[in-house]
Chains A and B, each alone.
Chain A
Amino acid sequence: METLLNDFSVGLFFMQALILLIVIVLMRVFAWKPILDALQTREDGIQEALESAENAKLEMQNLQANNEKLLKEARAERESMLKEAREMKEKMIEDAKTQAQEEANKMVSNAQLAIENEKKAAVAELKSQVANLSIEIAEKVVREELSNKDKQAKLVESMLSEATLN
């Protein structure tokens, strides 16, 4: 201990304190402050870059999710459109069928009506033809009857006799 104390040099202590103080001050101004500031700036920059990369990744994911969603929507829309079209087609076919049926029914009934009318007209014609024919025949018969004078006189006589009776 005594040697230790003997070795302790007050002057060296003083010089060391002075030098250390000067070195600390100089180093602070010329080295530590700019170095630490630069390191801080660089680390902040790296941090920022990492964060923005992370953000970009997230955005990318969002975008991808959006795309996926859009794709899904488009697919669903196509599906529904196809379905609609199919339904429409079926409906149109159905409609056409019913319409055709109706038309056919109508045509059939018209035809039946026309046939009936034709038939009636034909029957009427036939009737008038038969009447004419009958009249002609009757005329011819009458004319035949009246061509002979005797017969005419007999007829008149019979008629007169009938009339006298009344």
Chain B
Amino acid sequence: MVATKSIKFLVVFVLALTSFTAFAQEEVVENNLVDSPDEIREFIAHHLKDSHDFHLYTDNASGKHYGFPLPVIVWTSNGLKTFMSSEFHHDDNGEVVVDKDGTKIVKYHTKIYELDEGAAALSFDEAHHPTNASKVIDFSITKSVFGMILTGLLMLIGFSSLARGYKKGNTVPKGFSRVLEPLVIYVRDEIAKPNIGDKKYRKFMGFLLTVFFFIFILNILGLTPLGFNVTGQIAVTACLAIFTMVIYLFSGTKDFWAHTLWMPGVPIILRPILAVIELLGFVVIKPFSLLVRLFANITAGHFVVMSLMALMVSLKADFGPVASTGMSLILSLFIMFIELLVAFLQAFIFTMLSSLFIGMAVEEHDEHH
């Protein structure tokens, strides 16, 4: 009862953002004059990737970019180098070489490369792979990192205000906290307790709640015109999945390991085979399914929404500007609604499966079968 109410509220809350999103995204497309299928494809592909500056839109007439640069922090063969991404001058083709104390750094297709000794410009092979440069370890505050920090701050502000409300002696929260509380209760009562058990769930609440809201807010941020695609970055979902894996592997009970490595009640010959299968399941398959599910859902969502928005441009020749714009608006709005659901659903599923796996690991077997 409480949970459905809160979901309803959130849907309404995020709806306010949606119409704005559709509008703003169109503007991006319009102003860039991305009007051929190839350009659209490239535009979408570019959006799905992480970027080193916070780019809002480009005014095509004056060639001016709106947005702000983000810090680049890279570990090169000469040690740590930091500078603002504005030094690349919005170049993404490896043409602008940034020279930091003799280390030549270029950005090519959202990746940062360090030119080899003696090279002055990036050269490519037939498959457009750089030949005279090596990748660096990139600790930059990219758009995704920025989004995560933003999300962390939002969470910290929102939930610490909820916590303060209780400390002041209000048993019932006021204002925005009233929206957050049912969500916390939802995660506790519908996700953690049924899967982990009443006795042990408390220990994992910190992780589960954090992950739930982290994914949820990042998914929602991805639907705003700011154009974040954090949960669509495979490194991010991989990290989340590995956190879950580490937690359930380290909190596994003796029973769990006994059942995983030497399954009782099964012929001795089968036991090593089962152990390999079980171990593979817990170490590889389960985390992999977690990371791919979140990554694929969010990436696909972004891809579909942007493709539908691009209909406006690509169908203009066939249907005229009004019909194509109308169709694009209706379809993308429809998909946007579904994406709102997916934003919640993926956060829910990730947390749900994490708690399910943790529940498997901490379960005590009373009866031996």
Q: What are 27 inter-chain pairs, A to B, with CB distance below 8 A?
A: A7-B235, A8-B234, A9-B50, A9-B138, A10-B137, A10-B138, A11-B75, A11-B138, A11-B139, A12-B236, A13-B236, A14-B137, A16-B144, A16-B235, A17-B242, A19-B148, A20-B211, A23-B214, A24-B206, A27-B155, A27-B156, A31-B156, A31-B160, A32-B159, A34-B166, A36-B202, A45-B171
How long is the Cα–Cα vector from A30 to B235 in the complex, in angstroms? Answer: 27
Residues of A within 8 A of B144 (CB): 12, 16
Do B137 and A11 touch (CB < 8 A)?
yes
A38 is an interface residue with CB less than 8 A from chain B? yes
Q: A8-B234, A15-B145 are in contact. Are A30 and B163 (CB under 8 A)?
A: yes
Query: A residues within 8 A CB of B307?
Result: none
From A39, which residue of chain B is reached at the shortest CB distance? B185
Given contacts A16-B148, A16-B239, A26-B156, 9 further A-B contacts (CB under 8 A): A8-B234, A10-B137, A10-B138, A16-B145, A23-B151, A23-B156, A27-B156, A35-B181, A37-B166
Residues of B within 8 A of A15 (CB): 139, 141-142, 145, 148
Pick the 4 closest A-B CB pairs, nearest first: A38-B166, A31-B159, A11-B138, A34-B163
Shortest A39–chain B CB gap in Å is 7
Could you say which of B145, B159, B207, B242 contacts A12, with CB atoms under 8 Å apart?
A: B145
A106 within 8 A of B: no
Interface bin, chain B: 35 or more
Chain B min CB distance to A33 (Å): 8
User: In the assembled complex, which residues on chain B have CB atoms less than 8 Å from the CB atom of A42?
Assistant: 171
- Interchain CB contact (< 8 A) of A35 among B145, B152, B159, B171: B159
> Per-residue 0/1 for B161-179: is the Cβ within 8 Å of any A Cβ (1 yes, 0 no)?
0110011000100000000
Contact residues of B: prevailing secondary structure? helix
Partner of A32, one of B142, B152, B210, B243: B210
Contact A27 B209 (CB under 8 A): yes
Across the interface, which residues of A come within 8 angstroms of B151, CB to CB? 23
Q: Are A39 and B184 in contact (CB under 8 A)?
A: yes
B338 within 8 A of A: no
- How many contacts A-B (CB < 8 Å)? 123
Interchain CA distance A33-B166 in the complex, whole Å: 11
Bound form: Cα–Cα A35–B149 in Å: 22
Q: Is B286 an interface residue (CB 8 A)?
A: no
Chain B residues contacting A19 (CB-CB under 8 Å) are: 145, 148-149, 152
- Interface presence of B205 (CB below 8 A): yes
Which interface residue of A9, A19, A24 has the most chain B CB atoms within 10 A?
Answer: A9
Task: Tell whether A30 pairs with B210 under 8 Å between CB atoms, given A11-B140, A20-B240, A45-B171.
Answer: no
A10→B163 contact, CB < 8 A = no
Interface hits, A20-57 → B, CB 8 Å: 20, 22-24, 26-28, 30-39, 42, 45
Give per-residue flags for B231-261: 1 if the beta carbon is below 8 A from chain A beta carbons, else 0. 0011110111011000000000000000000
A4 CB–B CB distance under 8 Å:
yes
**A interface list, Cβ under 8 A from B:** 4, 7-17, 19-20, 22-24, 26-28, 30-39, 42, 45
Given the complex of chains A and B, what is the CA–CA distance between A41 and B274 in angstroms?
45
B138 and A24: CB pair below 8 A?
A: no
Which residues from A are CB-within-8-Å of B149?
19
B188 within 8 A of A: yes
Min distance, Cβ A25 to any Cβ of chain B, angstroms: 8
Contact A14 B139 (CB under 8 A): yes
What's the Cα separation between A37 and B171 when bound, in Å? 11
List, in ascending order, chain A residues with CB within 8 A of B139's CB.
11, 14-15
Q: Check B49 for interface membership: any CB of A closer than 8 A.
A: yes
Identify which of residues 169-226 in chain B touch chain A, using a CB-to-CB cut-off of 8 Å: 171, 181, 184-185, 188, 202, 205-207, 209-211, 214
C-alpha spacing A14/B148, complex, angstroms: 12
On chain B, the residues within 8 Å of A36 by CB distance are: 184, 188, 202, 205
| Partner of A27 from B206, B238, B243 at Cβ < 8 Å | B206
Q: Would B209 and A13 count as touching, CB distance under 8 A?
A: no
How near does chain B come to A14, taking the closest CB pair, in angstroms?
Answer: 6
Cα separation A23 to B188 with both chains bound (whole Å): 19
Q: Which residues of B contact A8 (CB under 8 A)?
A: 234-235, 238
B239 A13 Cβ-Cβ under 8 A = yes
Instruction: List, in ascending order, chain B residues with CB within 8 A of A38's CB.
Output: 163, 166-167, 171
* A7 with B49: CB separation less than 8 A: yes
Q: How many angstroms from the CA of A70 to the CA of B83 in the assembled complex?
A: 92
Task: Give min CB distance, B209 to chain A, whole Å.
Answer: 5
Contacts of B138 in A (CB 8 A): 9-12
